[in-house]
Structure 1
Amino acid sequence: MPFHCWIQVRQELVEEYEQVRSIVNTLESFKTDKPVDLPSTRPEDYMRDPAVWPPPTPAEHRPPAQVKRPATGVKPQRKDSPGMQHQHRGAAGKGQPSSKSDRPTGRDPRNPKVKEEKGKNAQEGATEGELKKFDDTGYDSDLVNVLERDIVSRNPNVHWNDIADLEDAKKLLREAVVLPMWMPDFFRGIRRPWKGVLMVGPPGTGKTMLAKAVATECGTTFFNISSSTLTSKYRGESEKLVRLLFEMARFYAPTTIFIDEIDSICGRRGTSDEHEASRRVKSELLVQMDGVGGATENDDPSKMVMVLAATNFPWDIDEALRRRLEKRIYIPLPTVKGRVDLLRISLREVEVSPDVDLAVIAEKMEDYSGADITNICRDASMMAMRRRIQGLSPEEIRALSKDELQMPVTMEDFEIALRKISKSVSAADLKKYEAWMNEFGSV
């Protein structure tokens, strides 16, 4: 553009600036009697490079309510004023935007110092009323979100009293998991806590409930893991999930990692039907479990990570994993006393007829698991409702009130339920569990 054109543009801008100034002063005259002047800085004072000088914002594009000035007659610098824009641009050079390196970066996976400082700040910044947030620097944020959303549970809210019977298992879990958290100075050296605990037993005996009770009593963060959580269709993604899981567990320590149905994740290696991806996941899991360990003289007891595992098929577990799960506990079927306690817990929200004898019912449920007893209680509690709605039309059923359906459970209801529901654990399975515990048990 020729030089005389620049001079003409400059002159037009100066005229427009004078018009805007006049309009602003007119608007201010309606608000206060004191004259308010715009800054005395003229465009000529700072317009050294016309190519980067922005035009002023027209007054008609701003609502009158936003044009506010202090009563002292001094106009503060606005972010969008010409002078401020020129100063902002001048700080980065002649119209050149400031480089990204001048601004602090939130993530730099290649710089370990950034990750270390950021993680330290995240831990120091978490006060007592706040929950710590895992620093995902260097990790896939999608994987972190999956573990945060689907796995982390900071209060399972299951206590020992919610679990009937299993006194021996509770005692062993207190000694292996809970007491090291309560007495960290004692459990050091050769008395260090166990690396892992394996709970073995038939289905429905309360292994998951025991793990949640351990997490509640310890006050630890609870990770409930299944095979689907650590499985991905992308190559190498499952190993990353395993490693990320243990990294998050160390960050949220003290932590309890509960791996349910661990035989589906870490079965025997070297079999003909084993896939390469499955073998890599097992290897990563074994390496991470070796790196967890218990508290030693130099470790912080509050950073303990305990691995709990449960399985219905202990004979399918890899030998190396069995070695890392140092404490192996058998969770048996409930005894007669345990069955009475289970019946009482299951029926505490249901009205029971005076003729119901829980001891007699418990005697009839020999070799029933805890899940089987719960199913019988549920079925018996619905017998009265089934009799009440028999022969009624859908409209009449919807018209029934809650009080009409709240009828007590009778002894006859339990007898009908016992005839309909059989036990789910066979005698042959019980013999296999007892044989495995005699060979590999560690109670």
Structure 2
Amino acid sequence: MSLAEINENVKLAREYALLGNYSSAVVCYQGVLEQIKKYLYSVRDTSLLQKWQQVLQEINEETKQVREIMATLESFQLESTPSKPSSFGQENDIMPVHVEHRPSPCVPRKSSGPHKESKGHGNRLSAGPRNQPRPSPRVVNGEKGKPQKGKEKKENPSKPKDDKNKAEGVETEVKRFDRGGEDRDLIETLERDIISQNPNVTWDDIADLEEAKKLLKEAVVLPMWMPEFFKGIRRPWKGVLMVGPPGTGKTLLAKAVATECRTTFFNVSSSTLTSKYRGESEKLVRLLFEMARFYAPTTIFIDEIDSICSRRGNSEEHEASRRVKAELLVQMDGVGGTSENDPSKMVMVLAATNFPWDIDEALRRRLEKRIYIPLPSAKGRVELLKINLKELELANDVNMDKIAEQMEGYSGADITNVCRDASLMAMRRRIEGLTPEEIRNLSKDEMHMPTTMADFETALRKVSKSVSAADLEKYEKWIAEFGSC
């Protein structure tokens, strides 16, 4: 995690708040708070630690203000529901318009009086009250806490309204998925798989695969931007399966979805949903989807899904494995209803596999879009070379088109391995025959050696492709029969 990422996420949160997209702003703020808390563990300088704690407090106050605005808007909606003409006066009729154009809550960062309670609130994704205590429920019940005493005169003109908003703001602040009891440990296990930080993978970092990127944007991004359009028969896809040989960019596409789409992102593997205790695995599956609906809009990414939901009915299948598959299928069938009427409550399952022929038929039906992620084309190989070599100094004789032509049949991972091996060739030549002491004493200028065309040719002879023609034929045959692009 870098300070640049924290800075970028703070800017994004404030931008969402300025645009009035308060729910997305809160999600970004929560990610920033979690990032800062993790960064604090690595800080050893006391003065620097105090400065970061002050920043954490200020971000907490900004988050509190955004939540208070959300609570205020919700209270207006609740008041307007019973009777439209009689319950609103002349002044209240124009209030929704006034609140909609309210300025960003991120600007007045100096205000610390009525918002001091927010210091105790952590991120909704934190594992518990490890660093900061949660607020007393008595504040919600209307009692005035000690931090309020010195502020009574200043807040008298609007005291009843402010007290109401504060109570509602605190209720929104502590909104966190918590079933309590014996399920609490399982919930914390799943919360560790929520990606709150930014994976920093954009669509531009992925060469080629334009059709796959277009489909993922249509399945995740557009329903958020055009909620009125994606209803009824045009409801969002509830499942997308990415099929292809290893190393073609399936996991990278999922990271780009997490970066670009700004939804709550669960990165789930088979180990996440596996427990040695009887009945806990299927309970983890149920809790995962309940949490996804609670934090919606959500994307659940399941890598190597064939390891979780392989074909049922085999003689070697264990009873516990069959129960987990059944629970997964039941939960996926219940996901679609959450997004039919409100795309902002959308839960989409994004899955990837190298063995699509091993997937259960019922799961294949629930993953409505099945797309093929092929080996990179000639143009894609050139783009991959440019992406991998953008930080490397190349000699004048390097011809990327010629290198890409020689790498036909290579996957994206294979091309990365060729570039990495070629980048080390100059260093290997330089240290050949030197003693360990001489290697340690080499200066930075002496190690400044550009990579040449000969280095790439040597690397190509050492690194072979990892996907056979027979494997490609199996993928193409499966996608021709079951694909849904």
Q: TM-score surpassing 0.5?
A: yes
What does residue 315 of structure 1 align with? Answer: 357
**One-letter amino acid of the counterpart of residue 424, structure 1:** S
Alpha-carbon separation, structure 2, partners of 1:104 and 1:157:
38
Give the aligned residue type for 2:200: N
Equivalent position of 2:269 in the other structure = 226
CA distance in 2, matches of 1:241, 1:413: 50
Task: Give the SS at the match of 2:364.
Answer: helix
Partner of 1:44: none
**How far apart are residue 157 of structure 1 and its match?**
2.5
Alignment of 1:359-438 (within 5 A): 359-438=401-480
Aligned to 2:332: 289
Across the aligned residues of Structure 1 and Structure 2, the Cα RMSD in angstroms comes to: 2.2
Structure with higher Rg: it is: 1
Partner of 1:178: 221
For residues 386-437 of structure 1, the C-alpha deviation after alignment (integer angstroms, 9 at most, x for no partner) is 1111111111111122332231111000000000000000000100001001
Over 3 Å counting, the alpha-carbon distance change for 1:150 and 1:190 in structure 2 is closer
Whole-angstrom CA distance in 2 between matches of 1:133 and 1:388: 57
CA displacement, residues 136-175 of structure 1 (integer Å, 9 cap, x when unaligned): 4245222222222244335332211010000111112222
Change (3 A) 1:325 1:137: same
Aligned equivalents of 1:406, 1:240: Cα separation in 2? 56
Structure 1: tracts of 5 or more residues without a match = 1-102, 106-120
Per the TM alignment, residue 126 of structure 1 is displaced from its structure 2 partner at its CA by 7.6
Range with bigger deviation, 141-150 or 266-275: 141-150
Overall identity of the aligned pairs, in %: 80
Q: How many correspondences in the alignment?
A: 323
SS for the counterpart of 2:449 is: coil
Amino acid in the other structure paired with 2:317: E
Residues 242 and 281 of structure 1 are in contact (CA less than 8 Å); yes or no, is this contact kept in structure 2?
yes
One-letter amino acid of the structure 1 residue matched with residue 397 of structure 2: D
Rounded Cα–Cα distance in structure 2 between residues aligned with 1:122 and 1:427 = 64
User: Secondary structure of the equivalent of 2:299?
Assistant: strand
**What is the SS of the residue equivalent to 1:259?**
strand
The aligned counterpart of 1:256 is 299
Mapped to 1, the partners of 2:205 and 2:250 lie a distance apart of: 13
Contact 1:342 1:373 in 2 (8 A): yes
Q: Any conservation in 2 of the 1:155–1:222 contact (CA below 8 Å)?
A: no
- TM-superposed CA distance for 1:365, in Å, is 0.3
Structure 2 residue runs of 5 or longer lacking an equivalent are 1-135, 139-165
After superposition, residues 89-238 of structure 1 pair within 5 angstroms as: 125=170, 133-138=176-181, 140-238=183-281
Q: Distance in 2 between matches of 1:387 and 1:303?
A: 57
- Large movers: runs of 4+ above 6 Å: none
Q: Is this contact kept in 1: 2:293–2:338, CA < 8 A? A: no
Q: What is the distance in 2 between the residues matched to 1:170 and 1:126?
A: 38
Select which of 305, 314, 319 maps to 1:271: 314
Against the structure 1 CA distance between its residues 122 and 415, is the aligned structure 2 distance closer, same or farther, given a 3 Å change threshold?
farther
Counterpart contact for 1:195–1:326, Cα < 8 Å: yes
2-side partners of 1:177 and 1:133: how far apart?
Answer: 23
Alpha-carbon spacing, 1:142–1:184, altered in 2? closer, same or farther (3 Å): same
C-alpha spacing 1:397/1:266, structure 2 compared with 1 (3 Å): same
Change (3 A) 1:246 1:329: same
Deviations 1:296-351 (A, max 9, x none): 56x33221111000000000000000000000000000001100000000011111
Paired residue for 2:380? 338
Classify the secondary structure of the residue corresponding to 2:445.
helix
Cα distance in 2 for partners of 1:296, 1:253 equals: 9
Offset at residue 104 of structure 1 (A): 7.8
1:60 corresponds to which residue?
none
- Return the TM-score normalized by structure 1: 0.69
